[in-house]
Amino acid sequence: MWKWILALLVPALCWGSPNQTATVTAAEDWMSVVRESPYWVSQGVYQNIVTIRRWVLTESGYCSESDRHILFGRRGRFLGYIDNGVSRMGTQHRLNEARTSLARRGKVHTWVAGGPDKTGYPFALACDQPHVELEQAIDRYLGTNASDRIWGTWDDLRFRTAEAPGALHDALRQVYHTRLSQNRLQLPRELPRYLAGQVLIESGARAQAHSAANARGILQLSRTALGDCGIAPNNYWHRLAQLDCALKLMNQNARNLRPAFDNRFGELPGAKRERLFTLLLIQAYHGGASRVEALLTSDELSAPAAYFSQHHERYTAGDIAFGMVYHNLGRDRLGLASLYYVADVELATEALCQRARARQDGFCDDAN
């Protein structure tokens, strides 16, 4: 029954002996922990979140066994894990015991009890989650099997033939370069490879993907988005149409966000500025451009952006992107899923770019 204590001790033997405890007071709720967090806690948060999400996506590290929860603090730093209980309530009880233990050992400054539909602190992330099987998804995207290759026409686009179909990877590149040559796109140079990462995360590169929220296709576009792109219902799952529509939406988001972004972060060094803009465009695809714009301009939500802009040399572009969201968690429907999505896209893109096929054609270079 004390297996969860051993699990917590394994990754951090420097915690000291069990007798070295301190009296701690539980915080009112998890949002009070966020509100009281100084901005400096965002140093390193991007890489920390990417690390724990890598364990989930690849079923590795402390998620090599799926019946676990990992715990992490406000910096996204891994603190320990528990083995799940025999019931949901049993797991919640173990998590809360682990939270109090972490606080008493001085690993976190406070703790919040979690419960049914109630977020606790330190935050907990289940290893057993629906996730993309990245290697299989990348195979589909690269057309490793003939059955995954595509051909067709959309608007003025024509890709391959029934006799010689091609990979979704090549289709994405063709659509992007066609629209770029037509001066229809003004996107960061690295954006296309992240769009490929989104295909992997959104649908696992499955043509007929269909979510509970009625999002459809390889890029999980809503009926409204599909309509805005002029796609008729009989073409909702058309992969060329989905790629074209996603690029159009990305470009629209970039055009709408660029003035506010440049006003806030225009003084950042060029490469760092464009990296941050790319991450915010990924965030906008997930949660909406208006929400990202509010993080840049709203009286209520823009204080973190103002701070990070002033002190940007202390933070990576990823830390800034995540810090802007973290310090506003619980506001404007922003949740931890907003951070997880961008981290997952980063990991999927990274995995794709480890394949020789993606590296050889220059897709993973900034000038793709």
Span 274-321, pLDDT tens digits: 999 999 999 999 999 999 999 999 999 999 999 999 999 999 999 999
Could you report the per-residue pLDDT of 119-165, keeping only the tens digit for each? Answer: 999 999 999 987 778 999 999 999 999 999 999 999 999 999 999 99
Average pLDDT over residues 57-73: 96
Q: Give which of 183, 227, 19, 226 is closest to 104, Cα–Cα.
A: 19
Label residue 232 exposed, middle or buried (CB < 10 Å: 0-12, 13-18, 19+).
exposed
Label residue 330 exposed, middle or buried (CB < 10 Å: 0-12, 13-18, 19+).
middle
Residues present in the chain in total: 368
Average pLDDT over residues 82-90: 96
Amino acid at 228: D
Q: Answer whether residue 18 shows pLDDT above 80.
A: no
Per the CB < 8 A criterion, the answer to whether 69 and 86 are in contact is no
Report d(CA 149, CA 168) in Å as an integer: 7
Report d(CA 6, CA 351) in Å as an integer: 33
Q: Give which of 234, 308, 326 is closest to 268, Cα–Cα.
A: 308
Could you report the per-residue pLDDT of 309-318, keeping only the tens digit for each? Answer: 999 999 999 9
> How many other CB atoms are there within 10 angstroms of residue 181's CB atom?
9
Instruction: Report pLDDT for 57.
Output: 93
Report d(CA 322, CA 301) in Å as an integer: 13
Q: Answer whether residue 34 shows pLDDT above 70.
A: yes
**For residue 82, what are the β-bridge partners?**
69
Q: Answer whether residue 78 shows pLDDT above 90.
A: yes
Q: Give which of 278, 268, 366, 253 is closest to 310, Cα–Cα.
A: 268
pTM greater than 0.85: yes
Tell me the percentage of the chain whose pLDDT exceeds 90: 86
CA distances (Å), origin 160, targets 77, 163, 169, 200, 243: 47, 8, 13, 22, 15
In the block, residue with structure tokens 């003084």: 267
Instruction: Report pLDDT for 27.
Output: 84
Q: Give all domains of the chain, ordered by start, each with its CATH number.
A: 3-126 (no CATH), 134-360 (1.10.530.10)
Residue 172 confidence class, pLDDT cut points 50, 70, 90: very high
Instruction: Report pLDDT for 3.
Output: 37
Q: Answer whether residue 345 shows pLDDT above 90.
A: yes
Average pLDDT over residues 247-269: 98
| φ/ψ bin of 116: left (φ > 0), alpha (ψ from -120 to 50), beta (otherwise) | beta
Residue 24 confidence class, pLDDT cut points 50, 70, 90: low
Instruction: Report pLDDT for 365.
Output: 84
Mean pLDDT score across all residues of the chain: 92
